Chain A
Amino acid sequence: MGYLSVVVLLPLAALVWSSRSGGLAALWQEATRPEALAALKLTLGVAAVCALVNAVAGTGIAWVLVRDRFAGKSVVDSLIDLPFALPTIVAGLTLLALYGPSGPFGVDVGFTRLGLLLALLFVTLPFVVRAVQPVLLELDTEMEEAAASLGAGAFAIFRRIVFPNLLPAILSGVALAFARAVGEFGAVVLISGNIPFKTEVSSVYIFGQLQSGNGTGAAAVSVLLLAISLGVLLAIGAFRHWRTRHDRA
């Protein structure tokens, strides 16, 4: 608990503390400026889409890694974590080179919201995969075999047996991916275009306020962002909790 306080709670408390220097009214005014709100909406929207895509794709990847056998599986398995190891600014630049105006595939999504989403998908890939994988490994295949012997189709087995067992893990992966997507800076600063109201995300907006000496504005948006993220994480946690109890009953 002491460790948690020093490493996490102290910095967060300091941020909240520093944000109140201008008074609550000033804080509210800063956080609700139209360009700040536009950035916030974009950030939360893209993070939500990113989390959803991860829920599906991440579960799929985990499934393939656990249930399928193929050559080079362990290599692929190690590749999953690489997005974490790459400095995110390099990731952003590499993605821009791939999907930007002079990319080799002829698709140009650089400086658009789609480009933003691709960058976030890249850096958040491991979360759901790594959350689901161990649960899937532990999952007893006997239940599925029993269902199959009773005549359940592949889809029914997945929906009734596998999915409910995986859901808590998927949700914790989704929560992590969402939180990371909300706060990401390095990977998106280059590819997003940073046009206010169009492609500027909150982290870049906050950076701009800091660079212009408006610490209150930066802190205000950060605190609002944190509060909303906390709300979303709590909601996901509560849903998970409810599901688990619901299943037992």
Chain B
Amino acid sequence: MKGICLALVMAAVLVGSAAGSSAGGSIDLVAYSTPKDAYGKIISAFQATVAGNGVSFNQSYAASGDQARAVAGGLPADIVALSLDPDINYLVQKNIVPKNWKSANKYHGVVSDSVVVFVVRDGNPKHITGWGDLVKPGIQVITPNPFTSGGARWNVMAAYGALRHSGKSDKQAIKYLYKLFHHVPVQPASARDALSVFAQGKGDVLLTYQNDAIYAEKKGVHTEYHVPKATILIETPVALTKSGLAKPAAKAFFKFLWSPAAQRAFGDQGYQPVVKSVAKSYRFYRPPGLFTIASKRYGLNGWPKVNRRFFDPKKGIMAAVERSLGH
């Protein structure tokens, strides 16, 4: 039954609200799938404000990469909320999102954050707490395929950065990635698929977002999660498109995402709010060795460089790692 519930979540791709006949106009919100519940609450809260009174919403939720391509292909979008920067940068290339979207506010377009965590079986029978434990003999690690899933890219960079954090060289960290992927018996297509696979009993540890781990617990999947000593800060971006910038209602809603009410909605769903006044009441654990995708010290240097070096489907490091699985 658990599995079937998850399937329904995955199958729920398009949810359109009633067409707007009101004075406030309508906003097209295109988002990746996991924050759907949070946005549902935020929209109701927004509609209760003066600025949001009478504004209607067309909401669409699906995998981040699919959404980016759909918008590039003509899906109307005033606000895009995706799982990682490269998906929004793709829309910048397509001339849909303005180049300077990151300077929209002091939060650089980031509404909430999370970290990569280890989800393990109840009681942690295999004693998995650190990155070194993942490559011990007999341990099975579940992580989505980094070429089909944006979430998996966070996992890979968390592993690489954590190794660098522990003093290993670039070469050693890459070698670790090879070792790690030989412990992966299944590479589901998306983070949600990976959660279903793990919930079905496959694997000893699942690499995923902290908010997804919290979601799983809420849905009754019997697991617990550990935050490794060093891990990556996952920042999920939101941007106004050019059409959104022309709509006062969309601009008001964009601003509303950083209001205490909206930030609390993210917090309630397991995302760490970024606005300080709200963040205080949702202190999700952050380990001492936390780093970001921009980390120069650990050789990451931001998404554009990471994407080219690690995830180029032909010449990337991960393409070579995947190829090595054939031998």
Count of chain B residues near A, Cβ 8 A: 34
Q: Are B196 and A93 in contact (CB under 8 A)?
A: yes
Q: Are A101 and B202 in contact (CB under 8 A)?
A: yes
The interface residues of chain A lying within 8 Å CB-to-CB of B200 are: 96-97, 100-102, 110
**Interface flag for B268 (CB, 8 Å):** no
Interface string of B193-211 (1 = CB under 8 A from A): 1001100111000000000
| CB closest residue in chain B, given A215 | B69
Interface string of B1-24 (1 = CB under 8 A from A): 001101110110000000000000
**Interface flag for B187 (CB, 8 Å):** yes
Partner of B4, one of A38, A94, A210: A94
Shortest CB-to-CB span from A40 to chain B, Å, is: 14
Q: Are A96 and B186 in contact (CB under 8 A)?
A: no
Interface string of A170-207 (1 = CB under 8 A from B): 00000000000000000001100111111000001001
The interface residues of chain B lying within 8 Å CB-to-CB of A101 are: 200-202
The interface residues of chain A lying within 8 Å CB-to-CB of B196 are: 93, 96, 190
Shortest CB-to-CB span from B104 to chain A, Å, is: 25
Rounded to whole angstroms, the CA-CA distance of A198 and B326 in the bound complex is 7
Known: A102-B201, A189-B189, A195-B325. A208 touches B147 (CB 8 A): yes
**Interface flag for A214 (CB, 8 Å):** yes
Q: Are B184 and A110 in contact (CB under 8 A)?
A: no
The interface residues of chain A lying within 8 Å CB-to-CB of B147 are: 208-209, 211-212
Rounded to whole angstroms, the CA-CA distance of A34 and B319 in the bound complex is 11
Known: A194-B187, A213-B90. A93 touches B6 (CB 8 A): yes
Q: Are A195 and B185 in contact (CB under 8 A)?
A: yes
Rounded to whole angstroms, the CA-CA distance of A194 and B193 in the bound complex is 11
The interface residues of chain B lying within 8 Å CB-to-CB of A35 are: 322-323, 326
| CB closest residue in chain A, given B203 | A101
Shortest CB-to-CB span from B155 to chain A, Å, is: 15
Shortest CB-to-CB span from A184 to chain B, Å, is: 14
**Interface flag for B59 (CB, 8 Å):** no
Q: Are B193 and A189 in contact (CB under 8 A)?
A: yes
Which parts of A149-176 form the interface with B (CB within 8 Å)?
A: none
**Interface flag for A231 (CB, 8 Å):** no
Rounded to whole angstroms, the CA-CA distance of A195 and B197 in the bound complex is 14
| CB closest residue in chain A, given B1 | A97
Q: Which of B184, B187, B312 gathers the greatest number of chain A CB atoms within 10 Å?
A: B187
Q: Are A209 and B313 in contact (CB under 8 A)?
A: yes
Known: A204-B189, A212-B147. A90 touches B11 (CB 8 A): yes
Q: Are B187 and A193 in contact (CB under 8 A)?
A: yes
Which parts of A76-113 form the interface with B (CB within 8 Å)?
A: 87, 89-90, 93-94, 96-97, 100-102, 110-111
The interface residues of chain B lying within 8 Å CB-to-CB of A126 are: none
| CB closest residue in chain B, given A212 | B313
**Interface flag for B145 (CB, 8 Å):** yes
Rounded to whole angstroms, the CA-CA distance of A34 and B325 in the bound complex is 11
**Interface flag for B148 (CB, 8 Å):** yes
Shortest CB-to-CB span from B186 to chain A, Å, is: 4
Please list the residues of chain B having a beta carbon within 8 angstroms of any beta carbon in chain A.
3-4, 6-8, 10-11, 65, 69, 90, 145, 147-149, 184-189, 193, 196-197, 200-202, 311-314, 322-323, 325-326
Please list the residues of chain A having a beta carbon within 8 angstroms of any beta carbon in chain B.
33-35, 38, 87, 89-90, 93-94, 96-97, 100-102, 110-111, 189-190, 193-198, 204, 207-214, 217
Task: Return 9 A-B CB contacts under 8 Å, by A number.
Answer: A33-B314, A93-B6, A102-B200, A194-B148, A195-B184, A195-B185, A204-B148, A208-B313, A217-B314
Given contacts A189-B193, A212-B312, 5 further A-B contacts (CB under 8 A): A111-B197, A190-B193, A195-B325, A198-B326, A208-B148
Closest 6 pairs between A and B when the two form their complex, measured CB to CB: A197-B326, A102-B201, A101-B201, A208-B147, A212-B313, A93-B7
